[in-house]
Amino acid sequence: MKFQGGHGTLAADGTRFDPYNDTHTADKDPRRRWGGQYPSLWVNAGGGGTFANIWTPNTYAQAGMVVSDTQTPGHVYQISAEHHVRTEFGLTRVANWEFLAPQTEEEAGESPDAVSFDIRDPAIS
């Protein structure tokens, strides 16, 4: 599965969509704000399950994947979260989750200070 948006996106005709200004520090169109949308994938409020083979290079999303407020087991296999401005994976008040073979990647212009995993207030199971 691929979440479209920003880096890695192709237009409907197959051509590459270019989300960069001349310095690669923002979109060409200032109304399209990097990091201004909800996370590409958000599991919340007791959610869980298995997530596999996902690519989320959406520069416009706050994060590639966020998991919050759950102790339901979750298994994440081979997800690639790339090119988000602040966070690739965010976990808040989460227990019983495992991430196997996660991949992150940043570009100097769009996300020099991004964090691969932002883990806050871990839940105790």
The domain total for the chain is 1
Model's pTM, two decimal places? 0.86
Mean pLDDT of 112-118: 90
What is the predicted pLDDT for the residue at 8? 64
Name the residue type at position 116: S
Q: Which domain holds residue 6?
A: 1-125
Question: In angstroms, rounded to a whole number, what is the distance separating the alpha carbons of residues 37 and 43?
Answer: 15
pLDDT digits (tens, 9 = 90+) for 80-100: 998 888 899 999 999 999 999
